[in-house]
Structure formats: structure tokens, C-alpha cells
Chains A and B, each alone.
Chain A
Amino acid sequence: MSLLHLAIISPFLLAILVPFAYKLFRQIHTGWFILPLPILLFSYFISYLSITSNQQSVTKSFSWIPSLGIDFTAKVDGLGLLFSLLITGIGALVVLYSIYYLDKNKEQLNTFYVYLLLFMGAMLGVVLSDNLLVLYTFWEFTSFSSFLLIGYWYHREKSRYGAQKSMIITVFGGLSMLAGIILLYLMTGTFSITEIIAQSNEIFTNPLFVPALLCILLGAFTKSAQFPFHIWLPDAMEAPTPVSAYLHSATMVKAGIYLVARMSPVFAEHSLWLWLVAGFGIVTLFWGSFSAVKQTDLKAILAFSTVSQLGMIMSLLGIGAAALHFETVEDSYFTVATTAAVFHLINHATFKGSLFMVAGIVDHETGTRDIRKLGGLMNFMPITFTLAIIGTFAMAGLPPFNGFLSKEMFFTGMVRVLEMDIFNLDTWGVLFPVLAWVASVFTFIYSMVLVFKTFTGKFQPEKLEKKPHEAPLGMLISPIVLASLVIIIGFFPNIISNTLISPAQASIMPPAEGYMYDAHIYFWHGFTPELFMTLGVITVGILLFATLPKWRKVYDMFPEKLALNRFYDGMLEVSQRASFNLTRLYMNGFIRTYLVYIFTFFIVALAATLFIKDAFKFDTSNVAPIHYAEVLLALGIAAASITILFVKSRMTSIILLGAVGYTVSLFFVIFRAPDLALTQLVIETISVSLFLLAFYHLPKLRHEERIRFKMTNALISVGVGAVVTMIALSAHSNKMFDSIAQYYVENTYKEAAGKNMVNVILVDFRGFDTMFEITVLGIAALGIFAMIKLRLEGGKKNENK
């Protein structure tokens, strides 16, 4: 186990110690014990920068289940390192923020930090695993810890609902991803991503390739809240704000992005990949930004905004795949989309994290997140206001913040779709820039709503629970750090271009030998179409924002019934009710019904087998001769058993059963089985007396009646009888080999010193059977004794409760 492995599992190890720290040091906020770890990990991962900057990678392997090809292989390359830095860096800031956000006297801090550390370790595992099954393990860990964190305030119903919803959707996707992983394993024979990428050309024509692609994408789309699976994200906002900032803006929702980026070298050459990733991405972008405008809750706006920004990154990754179809990957003309995706990934993590923290501060200091109650907070919270301005303007794509740069590159990537002439992009491709532009207008509007409805306008103190004031310094540190990053990256984008962006891009689209991506980001492109698009976004956005109250009614036109949440809830309810009704339908509690199922299955399965296999054979060559006595006995037993069906009195039927038993005993006499005849005689006598004992001494049954005739019963019983007869005839006519009885005949006296063969078989040759048959009798006797003796007094009362 290397230091790298230790780094990945260190959050899990620390999570074990958290409850001790919580119980032992009640005065100190538990968060302070956690804070050093992400900082330490962050600095540790910084040390890898020098390696990945040269677009190299480090691989460390640790044997886990070698016989199944599952090794915990950790690989640090550009993409993995970028995510690791995001996870640990924002993780540290979120822990710091949470120390001031969560009250140590009111909250269960130990569970909070245990879950958070679980999540952090799982996320590191996802982005640094080279083995797909290990990746999947950590992936489910993130779903699981996210479930726990969303349901942190488990006494609230909405938290539980949100947690369950996110669990159902992400685990659904996770399982589909597992299927994709298994399909990839079937094609390549390995779980290692590096080796799968090496074989990607060979599996391209494999019939399992497309199913694997679809399964993996389903996993990525559900995790990254792509349309129509985005519905869990707004409901996940019931989590504490540090969780929303960390999981639902910066890290977990990007796991799907990571997966798409990571698997790009395997799948991206397929046209389906480009269309699905780019198509779902752009639709998500549009739908998310469109829906964000109508929200009134700060965190709901941010949730839909996250959905839309994730869609934007996803669409860029999809469009970037087009570069693979041209002569050289090095032609950076189409790779700009991938550069933009990575760049915006970083930018989004910075500004969205800070915005969530701002929303948390507003919530914390005023007691509400509803923008209809907020307003005019600018004078009370100048620092928070400044932070909000920076975050929202970056989100809207305004200069000089980093969002501007990535939005420009986004437009560049989308405009260049028009020049692609593959996969029908020349006809439908025009939708991409158009949707992108419209979505950007909506992005501008909700960004402005977010900042101006909260901080400017009329101050409404009567609607607020608390008197608003500036947040404590500790709470402000994290958003200040993130906002400064927004500005620093905005002004000096190239400090990260060759250290972070190019290496990540090299992992997404491995270049030819010796080539290095150069992701130089220019602040000024000249008078390009992108610039005019941005100007258009700003102009139209300002106009629409100013007239928002007038056209807001547009949203009311969309019927509530068509909402995806309705669909999800309906689906849950319908499936629940349907399975309940289905079970009620066939599990009706009547033993007769179940017997009908069993017998019908017996008849159908056996008769069908006889028929299909043509197994029925009738051969009279091997039969014994018939004597009159036997015919008489046969007629007697048949008559007695049929008469039982028609008699009214139960007593008569018991006697008839005895008659059948004695006839069987007579058969045993005729067929030369003296021991059987003896046993049968005795046992039949005892059985009949037991029957009589059991039912004669009971108070007389009120009314005895015949069995009511039912056609189904008659058909089934005739069927059972016929099938048994047919199988008996067929089996008798198909004798394969002689009996092994000759051995017993010869050895009964020689080996076992007995002359009664049956008895010698029972106690000598096959004595084990007899031993357990004795056990059966013993158990039955004890059971009967217990049934009669044990009468629990309380039993009846409890039952009726």
C-alpha cells in the first residue's frame, strides 16, 4: 500500500475517530479536528502537479481480489488530479464554513462529519481508481453518503423524501453503470481503464459496444443530474447548506461528468456518444436555466442553475468528441470544446460553491431563503453582497470574471458545430448554438434575480424572523477564498491552463506521442461571433429581467401535470399500488388457490415435457400376468377411494380411508412383501384410530355436507391422476437397466448374516435411512406432546391486539 492509497482511504480512517473526538472534546467544535485532513490532502495532491503538468501519470497498485482481476489501482493523471484538487480544496473550505454554520450545541456533529468524510474518501476513490469495479464501489459509496447527508435532518419529512429520491435515482444509474462495466469486461477481459482504452479500437465493432455505452451513460446522466434525471437535485437541497455547496455543486454531481470524460477515449469515436452526450447536455442546459427563473427559493435557483451548468459541461464534452473524427487530434479547432468543458468545470466549482455559501449565510442571518421575503440586504451585508455579485456575474458570464471566459469558449465550441459535416451535424447541428444562446439568456436572468432580488430593492423587516446583520468572519472566509479564485482565474486564466487544463484534456483525448496540448486562453478574441453573442445575451437579458413581472406568467401556462416530479411521484405510486394489487390478486390467503397453482404447474410442466420430448411409450412386453384376486382388489381400492369423494359424513370417509389402507396391505401380501404388509396393517389401524380419536371426541360438527362440486377441482384432480398414470406407464416401458437387487440377494447372508433381505437392507446396508426415520418419529412424538401440553396463555390476547 502506497502513500497514494493511504491518501484515498485516510478520510475513512479519520471517520472512525470522529465520534471519539466528538465525545471527548465537547467544548471544541468537531469540525476543527476534520479541517487538517483535507488541507493536508490538498497539499499532497499539489505535489503531483509537477508530474501531471508534463502530461505524465502515476500508477500505484494494491492487490485486493487478484483472482478476479480486481486490484485497487490508483492512477493520478491530469483529470484525476484536477478532481482530487477540487474535492480536497473545496472540501477544506466547506469544512471550515460548516464549523461556523452548524451549531455545536444543537446539531449532531459527529454523524455530520462522519458522513462528510465518508463522502470525501469515496469521491477521491472514484476519481483516482483505475479499476472499474473499485470505481463502482466508491461510486455507490458516494450515493450512500450523499443519501445520509441529504437526510441529515431526518426528522423533517422533506429531507427524507429528498434523500430517498436521490438514492433511488442515483442507485438506479449506478446499477446500470455496473452493467456497463461488466459488458466492458466481457469485451476486453479487464477492469482496468487504461487497458480498456488500449483496446478501444478492437471493441468498436463489438455488438456489446453500444449497450455498454448506453449503460455507462445512464449511470453518468443520473449522477450528474442530466435531463430528465435532474429531478433529484432540487429536492436534495433539504441538506444542510455546506453539503449542498460541496456535494451538489462542486463534487458529487460532477462524478458523472468525470465518468463521461474518463470513458471518452473508449466510446467517443461512436456517433451515438456525441449525439447523446451533447444532446442531453444541451437540453439539460436549456431546461435547467429555464426552470431556474421561476424558482423563489435561493437554493432551488442554485440547484436548477447547477443542473443547467452541468448540462453545459456535458454538451461541451460531447461536442469535443467530434475532434476525434478528424485527421489529427492536435488540430485544436474542435478540441476547444473539451478545453472549455474542463475550464468551466473549475470555474463552476469556484463560483457555485461560493454562491451556495452566500445563500447559506443569507439563510443563517435572516431565517429565510425565499426571495419574495428578502430584499435590500445590501446595506446589512456588504461583504456577502460583494461575494454574491462576483459569483452571479461569473455565472452569468460577464467580464472580467472567469465565467466570461468559459462562456466565450462555450460559444466558440457551439458555433464550430456548424462547421462539422459528420453524423448529420450539418442539418441538426444548428440547434446547438441556438439553444446555447437562449439558455445563456435565461442564465443571465436568474443570476440577476438571485443577486438583485436578495440584496437590492425594498427591505422587508416584518417578513424576516431575525434582524439581519453581517455574517461572522469565519463563515465568510471560504466564500471569500472562492470568490478571489473567481477573480484570479478571471484575470489570469493562463496560470491554470498548462498546469490543470491541458493535462486533464490529455486524459480525455489522449494525443499522439509527444504532443502537448496548449490550452492558452485569450482574454480578447477580437470581434468574433462569440463576442456578439455575449453582447446579445446581456442586452436581451437586461431587457427580459426588467420586464420579468410581465412575462413571468409564461410559467403558469405549463400544466403542473406534465412536471417531471409529478411523473416520478406517480410512477412510484403506481408501481407500489400495482405490485400491491398484483400480490393481492394471486396471494389471496386461501390454501386451495395455492394448491391449484401448484397442481396446475405440475400438470402443465409434466404433460408438456412428455409431449415435447415425445417421451410417452407404451410397452406391454415386460408386464407381469394378472390374476382375478388382483383385479378384484384393484376394483375395490378404486371404488373405495372414489366413494370417499362423495360421502357426506366424515366418519364414513375415515372408514373408507381405512379400507383403502387395508387393501394396500393386501396388495403387499400378494406382491410378496410380508414386512410391508405387517407394517401397513398396524399403521393403518393406528392411523384410523387417531383419526377417530381426533374427530370423534370433538363436539359434533354443526352441519356435515358433501364436498361441493367444482369443475376446476375435478379437472385438476383428473389431470393429476392422468399425468401420474402416464408417467408411470412411460417409466415402466422405458426401463434402462436391471435392478441392483441381485447384489443384496447374494450378500445378505454372506456379508450381513441375515436371511430377511428387507430387514438387512434397513438396518445393515442402508442403516442411515433408518436412523433418521427413527428421528422423524421422535420429532413427531415430541411435537405432538408439545402441541397438546404447551398452552401459552398470553398468545391469544397478543394476537387480537
Chain B
Amino acid sequence: MEILMAFVIGILFMSATYLMLSKSLLRIIVGTGLLSHGAHMLILTMGGLKRGAAPLLGEHASSYSDPIPQALILTAIVISFGVTAFFLVLAYRAYQELGTDNMDRMRGTEGND
């Protein structure tokens, strides 16, 4: 399973990189979204995907999934959400002010960069 997941994560990273190299600001943000999904999955996979009960003591199982990567991912999800939201509003404002979402055209004027 981990091997399959490694390839899935690789595909997510690949798509994210390709999107981030494009000109459209929206696509760049979509790319960062994909990248954070990839990173979260990577943390989970690297923690080990051995079958066990969900990390709830009430289950009275003999083995549990590793709770630490889950806690880490939860933190990461919230932070990436905060950053994405900020980034999105920034893009929205940039579009409002500059009238473009083409990154190539968002440049300082000559002598002002």
C-alpha cells in the first residue's frame, strides 16, 4: 500500500509543480492546494499504514494506528488552510487592483523594482 501511495504522492507533487510554473495566479494557488494535499498524504504514509483501530481508546483494540502523524497532519491542514485563505484573498485583491491574474504582467515598473 505504501508503495502505491508513494506514487500517488509523486503524481500530486508533479501536478502541483506543473501548476505552480504556469502563468495564472489562480492555477498557482490550485497548485499549492495540491502540494499541501501531497504533503499531508506523505506524512500519513511515512507514519506507516498498518491496519489497526482508529486511535480511540474506547475501541479496546490490540493495536492502533499511529496517532502522532495524525496530530501533525491536523495542525498542517489548519495552517495550510489559513495560508491558502490569505493567499486567495490576496489574489482576489490583486486582481481587483491590477486587473490581471497573469503573473508575467504583475511586475514593478521600470526603476521601481
CB distance from B36 to the nearest CB of A (A): 10
CA distance A713 to B27 in the complex (A): 14
CA distance A661 to B40 in the complex (A): 11
Q: Evaluate contact between A724 and B9: CB separation under 8 angstroms.
A: yes
Nearest A residue to B48 by beta-carbon distance? A739
Cβ of B11: which chain A residues have Cβ within 8 Å of it?
637-638, 641-642, 721
A626-B1, A638-B8, A676-B74 known; A756-B33 Cβ under 8 A: no
Cβ of A528: which chain B residues have Cβ within 8 Å of it?
none
- Top-5 shortest CB links A-B: A721-B14, A725-B10, A780-B82, A717-B17, A757-B67
A777 CB within 8 Å of chain B: yes
Identify which of residues 28-60 in chain B touch chain A, using a CB-to-CB cut-off of 8 Å: 29-30, 33-34, 37-38, 40-42, 44-58
Nearest B residue to A762 by beta-carbon distance? B71
23 example contacts (A-B, Cβ-Cβ < 8 A) are as follows A624-B50, A630-B1, A630-B4, A631-B4, A634-B5, A642-B11, A657-B33, A657-B34, A664-B37, A667-B41, A673-B55, A679-B74, A686-B85, A707-B18, A710-B21, A717-B21, A721-B13, A725-B7, A729-B6, A739-B66, A749-B57, A770-B75, A779-B82
Q: Evaluate contact between A748 and B57: CB separation under 8 angstroms.
A: yes
Cβ of B15: which chain A residues have Cβ within 8 Å of it?
641-642, 644-645, 717, 721
CA distance A403 to B8 in the complex (A): 89
A769 CB within 8 Å of chain B: yes
**Tally of A-B Cβ pairs under 8 angstroms:** 267
Interface stretch (choices A39-47, A246-254, A537-545, A691-699): A691-699
Cβ of B107: which chain A residues have Cβ within 8 Å of it?
589-590
Other-chain contact of B42, A668, A710, A724 (Cβ < 8 Å): A724
Instruction: Mark each residue of chain B from 71 to 83: 1 if its CB lies under 8 Å from any CB of chain A, else 0.
Output: 1011101110111
Cβ of A720: which chain B residues have Cβ within 8 Å of it?
13-14, 17
Q: Evaluate contact between B21 and A624: CB separation under 8 angstroms.
A: no
A472 CB within 8 Å of chain B: no
Most interface-central of A645, A708, A720, A779 (chain B CB within 10 A) = A720
Cβ of B50: which chain A residues have Cβ within 8 Å of it?
624
CA distance A437 to B79 in the complex (A): 82
A592-B21, A623-B1, A644-B30 known; A718-B93 Cβ under 8 A: no
CA distance A209 to B92 in the complex (A): 65
CA distance A695 to B96 in the complex (A): 11
Nearest A residue to B14 by beta-carbon distance? A721
A741 CB within 8 Å of chain B: yes
Q: Evaluate contact between B22 and A679: CB separation under 8 angstroms.
A: no
Identify which of residues 85-113 in chain B touch chain A, using a CB-to-CB cut-off of 8 Å: 85-86, 88-93, 95-96, 101, 103-104, 107-109, 112-113
The number of chain B residues touching the other chain, given as a range, is 35 or more
Cβ of B84: which chain A residues have Cβ within 8 Å of it?
687, 690
Q: Evaluate contact between A672 and B52: CB separation under 8 angstroms.
A: yes
Given contacts A691-B30, A756-B55, A776-B78, 6 further A-B contacts (CB under 8 A): A592-B104, A638-B7, A674-B54, A741-B66, A758-B71, A776-B83
CA distance A654 to B88 in the complex (A): 12
Q: Evaluate contact between B5 and A721: CB separation under 8 angstroms.
A: no
Interface stretch (choices A428-436, A457-465, A782-790): A782-790
Q: Evaluate contact between A769 and B75: CB separation under 8 angstroms.
A: yes
What is the number of residues of chain A that contact chain B, defined by CB distance less than 8 Å?
93
CB distance from B102 to the nearest CB of A (A): 10
CB distance from A158 to the nearest CB of B (A): 29
Cβ of B112: which chain A residues have Cβ within 8 Å of it?
799
Instruction: Mark each residue of chain A from 717 to 739: 1 if its CB lies under 8 Å from any CB of chain B, else 0.
Output: 11011101100110110000001
CB distance from B50 to the nearest CB of A (A): 5
CA distance A784 to B7 in the complex (A): 36
Cβ of B82: which chain A residues have Cβ within 8 Å of it?
776-777, 779-781
CB distance from B92 to the nearest CB of A (A): 4
Q: Evaluate contact between A695 and B49: CB separation under 8 angstroms.
A: no
A569 CB within 8 Å of chain B: no
Other-chain contact of B34, A590, A644, A679, A777 (Cβ < 8 Å): A644
A680 CB within 8 Å of chain B: yes
CA distance A787 to B112 in the complex (A): 22
| Secondary structure of the A contact surface, majority rule | helix
Nearest A residue to B17 by beta-carbon distance? A717
Cβ of A710: which chain B residues have Cβ within 8 Å of it?
21
Nearest A residue to B84 by beta-carbon distance? A687
A481 CB within 8 Å of chain B: no
Q: Evaluate contact between A757 and B21: CB separation under 8 angstroms.
A: no
Q: Evaluate contact between B77 and A595: CB separation under 8 angstroms.
A: no
Identify which of residues 641-672 in chain A touch chain B, using a CB-to-CB cut-off of 8 Å: 641-642, 644-645, 650, 653-654, 657, 660-661, 664, 667-668, 671-672
Most interface-central of A595, A625, A780, A799 (chain B CB within 10 A) = A780
Q: Evaluate contact between A780 and B21: CB separation under 8 angstroms.
A: no
Q: Evaluate contact between B19 and A757: CB separation under 8 angstroms.
A: no
Identify which of residues 539-597 in chain A touch chain B, using a CB-to-CB cut-off of 8 Å: 589-592, 595-596
Cβ of B19: which chain A residues have Cβ within 8 Å of it?
644-645, 707
Most interface-central of B2, B21, B56, B79 (chain A CB within 10 A) = B21
Q: Evaluate contact between B46 and A731: CB separation under 8 angstroms.
A: yes
Nearest B residue to A589 by beta-carbon distance? B107
Cβ of B53: which chain A residues have Cβ within 8 Å of it?
672
A624-B2, A731-B46 known; A787-B54 Cβ under 8 A: no
CB distance from B97 to the nearest CB of A (A): 8
A717-B15, A721-B11 known; A728-B27 Cβ under 8 A: no
A672-B53, A687-B84, A717-B14 known; A624-B95 Cβ under 8 A: no
CB distance from B27 to the nearest CB of A (A): 7
Cβ of A596: which chain B residues have Cβ within 8 Å of it?
21
A103 CB within 8 Å of chain B: no
CB distance from B72 to the nearest CB of A (A): 8
Nearest B residue to A667 by beta-carbon distance? B41
CA distance A23 to B10 in the complex (A): 74
CB distance from A599 to the nearest CB of B (A): 6
Q: Evaluate contact between A716 and B21: CB separation under 8 angstroms.
A: yes
Nearest A residue to B83 by beta-carbon distance? A780
A421 CB within 8 Å of chain B: no
CB distance from B16 to the nearest CB of A (A): 8
CB distance from B2 to the nearest CB of A (A): 5
Q: Evaluate contact between A673 and B44: CB separation under 8 angstroms.
A: yes
Q: Evaluate contact between B85 and A637: CB separation under 8 angstroms.
A: no
Cβ of A630: which chain B residues have Cβ within 8 Å of it?
1, 4
CA distance A163 to B53 in the complex (A): 78
Cβ of A637: which chain B residues have Cβ within 8 Å of it?
8, 11-12
Cβ of A722: which chain B residues have Cβ within 8 Å of it?
10, 14
CB distance from A791 to the nearest CB of B (A): 9
A740 CB within 8 Å of chain B: yes
Identify which of residues 302-343 in chain A touch chain B, using a CB-to-CB cut-off of 8 Å: none
A761 CB within 8 Å of chain B: yes
Cβ of A626: which chain B residues have Cβ within 8 Å of it?
1, 4
Cβ of B88: which chain A residues have Cβ within 8 Å of it?
690-691, 694
Q: Evaluate contact between A732 and B2: CB separation under 8 angstroms.
A: yes
CB distance from B28 to the nearest CB of A (A): 8
A631-B4, A687-B81 known; A758-B55 Cβ under 8 A: yes
Q: Evaluate contact between A784 and B89: CB separation under 8 angstroms.
A: yes
CB distance from A545 to the nearest CB of B (A): 57
CA distance A590 to B107 in the complex (A): 8
CB distance from A601 to the nearest CB of B (A): 13
Nearest A residue to B89 by beta-carbon distance? A784
CA distance A654 to B19 in the complex (A): 12
Cβ of A718: which chain B residues have Cβ within 8 Å of it?
14
CB distance from A579 to the nearest CB of B (A): 17
CA distance A32 to B18 in the complex (A): 76
Other-chain contact of B3, A620, A717, A783 (Cβ < 8 Å): A620
